[in-house]
Amino acid sequence: MSILTQNRRVLIQGMTGKRGSFHTAQMSDAGTDIVGGVSPGRGGDWVHGKPVFDSVELAVEVTEANTSVIFVPAAFAADAIYEAVDAGIELVICITEGIPLLDMLKVYDYVKRSQSRLIGPNCPGILTPGVASIGIVPVHVAQPGHVGVVSRSGALTYDVVNTLSSKNIGQSTIIGIGGDPFVGTTFIDVLQMFENDPDTSDIVLLGEIGGRGEIDAARYIKKRMTKRVITFVAGLSAPPNRRMGHAGAIVEGGHGTAEEKIEALRNAGARVVYNPEEIADHLR
């Protein structure tokens, strides 16, 4: 799905940190065009042969970057998103987890009123096998193919993609939208992209308890999707009112349960599996 990974000139916000530096090298090895990084006060430094700038605005002016990946700590991540949007970055991918919900609510509204697209926060980013990696999805578990994968959970994504690859079922693009209550890109957004992508023949949607993203996706699948969608929803045994991993993975007031989402997806015509190991069998 080239609309999100090809022709991307990528900045790393927080490049000089441990995680930012490590994943800069990983993304570069995967073929991603990393043009520089941003770390206030470290302008003029170099990391893995890439220049570091004091601000996103200056970095964009010099490198013509159009994409940013954010690795800065949670306390500063909201400001990092604002800075990227204000600098005209088209695609902002926020890996950072633990951003306060009130901060993200404000960021969500700000981004929606801009020309930028935000993926995340608390997400693994995007990988198009054989093309580019923009985030932290392990490149070695994937292989090129025609199955689009969209998920709220990073770890579940890696496991499913690894299983698909082991059975020679390749992927067109893998997108992690993040597990927080407020995320910039939803299941519906990605389903629409996959539906319009000629390189994607089938879609795997990996959900979990909490929120209503999967229920909204079910309505979209029923009305708009022509391609086969295979789904798995984690958390059937999760107790109510207890957070399970992600900040958004919590069942409150009887809403957001796995059962509720499974029923909605099945009624929409999606194929539902109860074990992620079964996904490859359905794709075959």
Q: Is 246 a catalytic residue?
A: yes
Asked if the domains 2-119 and 137-283 are classified in one and the same CATH topology, the answer is yes
Q: Which of 15, 33, 81, 191 is nearest to 24 (CA)?
A: 15
Confidence of residue 235 (pLDDT cuts 50, 70, 90): confident
Catalytic residue, candidates 23, 48, 140, 246? 246
The pLDDT score that the predictor gives to residue 249 is 54
Q: State mean pLDDT over 214-232.
A: 98
Question: Domain ranges in the chain?
Answer: 2-119, 137-283
The pLDDT score that the predictor gives to residue 240 is 60
Beta strands per DSSP E along the chain: 9-13, 33-38, 46-47, 50-53, 67-70, 91-94, 117-119, 125-128, 132-135, 144-151, 171-176, 202-208, 228-234, 271-272
What single letter denotes the amino acid at residue 32?
T
The pLDDT score that the predictor gives to residue 252 is 55
Query: How many Cβ atoms from other residues are within 10 Å of residue 201's Cβ?
Result: 15
- Determine contact, residues 132/165, Cβ cutoff 8 Å: no
Q: Taking 60 as the threshold, does the pLDDT of residue 257 lie above it?
A: yes
- Determine contact, residues 249/226, Cβ cutoff 8 Å: no
Say what percent of the chain tops pLDDT 70.
Answer: 92
Could you give the maximum distance between any two Cα atoms of the chain, in Å?
56
Render pLDDT for 160-181 as a digit per residue (tens, 0 to 9): 999 999 999 999 999 999 999 9
DSSP 8-state symbol, 142: -
The pLDDT score that the predictor gives to residue 228 is 98
Q: Is the pTM of this model over 0.85?
A: yes
Q: State mean pLDDT over 256-263.
A: 92
- How many whole angstroms separate alpha carbon 236 and alpha carbon 259? 7
Q: Which CATH architecture has domain 137-283?
A: 3-Layer(aba) Sandwich (3.40)
The answer to whether the bond into 73 is cis (omega within 30° of 0) is no
196 contact partners, CB below 8 Å, separation of at least 6: none
Say what percent of the chain tops pLDDT 90.
Answer: 87
Q: State mean pLDDT over 112-138.
A: 97
- Determine contact, residues 175/190, Cβ cutoff 8 Å: yes
The pLDDT score that the predictor gives to residue 210 is 86
Q: Which CATH architecture has domain 2-119?
A: 3-Layer(aba) Sandwich (3.40)
